[in-house]
Amino acid sequence: MSAIPVIGFLVVALLAIAFAAVPLLRGPNKKRGTLLVAAIALFVLAIGSGAYWMVGRPQLAQREARGLETKEVNALIPYLIGRVRQYPNDGRAWRYLGQAYMSARDPANAAKALARAIAVDGKGDPELNTAYGEALVMANRGVVPPEAESAFTAALAVDPSNEPARFYLGDARRARGDAAGAAQMWQSLLAETAVTTPLYQMLVDRLALLTAQASGAGGGAPDPRRMVEMLAARLKGDPNDALGWVRLMRAYAVLGETAKAKEALATARKTFANNKDAQTAFSTAARALKLNEAGFPLAQE
C-alpha cells in the first residue's frame, strides 16, 4: 500500500494537535497544559487512525486515484459510466463500456451499451455490429434473436468475410428450419477456415448434424453411429486433421468399438508421424480412452 495517504493523515493530525496545543501552552500552567496536549494528541491519533482504517477503506481511495490505469475490469465500469453520462455522444466510450461489460460476463448490459455506440457512430462498423450481435446471443442463451440477426446482416454488408456474422446467421437459418440455407452459409465459411482451428471443428459438427437430421426419419434426432461414419469417411478423404482423428477415437470409444478406436489411433500416428504436437495429442487421448495396449506404443512424444 502507498504511504502517501498515511503521510497525509499524519500532517492533518499534527495540524489539529497544534491548533489545540498553542493556546494551552501559552497559558499560566505550562506543565498542566503539556499533559493536556499529550492527551489531545493521543485522542486525535486514535480516533483518526481508527476511522481511517475501519471506515475510510484506503484501498478504495487508491483505486479511485489510479483511475483508468487500473487493470480491474469491474473497476473500469464506474469510470466509463461516468464518462458516457458526461459525454453521451462519445461513441468510443460506449463501445469500451460494452467491452467491459462483456469481460465482466454481463452481456445484457453490454448489448445496451453497444446499441448506444451504434446509435452514436452509425451502422458502418462491422466489428461493432458483430460485437453487438454476439452480446445479444449470449444474453439470449445462445439463441440468435432478430436484433442480433439484423446486426450480423449489417456487418456482412460491409465485410462479407466476417466469420462470426456468417456463423451466427447460419445458426439463425437453422433455427428457422432453413437447413439448406444454414448449410450453404456454413459450407462457404468452412471452405475459408483453417482445419486446425476450433471454428473448423465446430462447423464440421454442425454440418454433420444438419445432414443427419435431414436423413433421419421425419427429421428426428440424429443417429450417433451415422455421424461417426460421416466423420470417418471425411477423414479417409482428408486425413490431415489431427483433431478430427482425436474426435473419431473418442467417438468409437463411446460407442464401445475399441478395435476401431485403436485402428483410428494407428492411422493417425502414421499420418502425422513427423508431427510432435499431433503425436502428443494422440497419446493424451489414448491414455484417457485406455487404448495403451500392446502394439500401440504411446511414448512417441
Report d(CA 68, CA 93) in Å as an integer. Answer: 12
Distance CA 167, CA 165 (A): 5
The C-alpha atoms of residue 70 and residue 77 are separated, in whole angstroms, by: 11
Q: Contact at 8 Å (CB) between 84 and 94?
A: yes
What pLDDT is recorded for position 68? 39
Distance CA 73, CA 15 (A): 39
DSSP string, 65-82: HHGGG---HHHHHHHHHH
Q: What pLDDT is attached to residue 113?
A: 96
Can you tell me the distance from the alpha carbon of 152 to that of 130, in angstroms, rounded to the nearest whole number?
6
212 in Cβ contact with 230 (< 8 Å): yes
> What is the predicted pLDDT for the residue at 250?
83
Q: How far apart are CA 296 and CA 283, in angstroms?
A: 10
Here the cell at position 269 is: 500416428
pLDDT at 295: 42
Output the CA angle 273-276-281, nearest 5 degrees.
Answer: 95
What pLDDT shows up at residue 163? 95
Q: pLDDT tens track of the chain, all 301 residues?
A: 444 555 555 555 555 555 555 554 555 555 555 555 455 555 555 445 544 444 444 443 443 444 434 445 567 889 899 999 999 999 999 999 999 999 988 999 999 999 999 999 887 899 999 999 999 999 998 899 999 999 999 999 999 999 999 999 999 999 998 988 999 999 899 888 886 777 887 887 788 778 777 665 444 555 667 777 878 888 888 888 888 898 888 888 877 888 999 999 999 999 999 999 889 989 888 888 888 654 444 444 3
What is the H or E stretch that residue 126 is in? helix 126-139
**Residue 115 · residue 134 · CB < 8 Å:** no
List the domain boundaries for the chain. Answer: 1-67
What does the pLDDT read at residue 237? 83
What's the CA angle centered on 38, arms 32 and 39, to 5 degrees? 90
CA angle 44, 47, 50 (to 5 degrees): 135
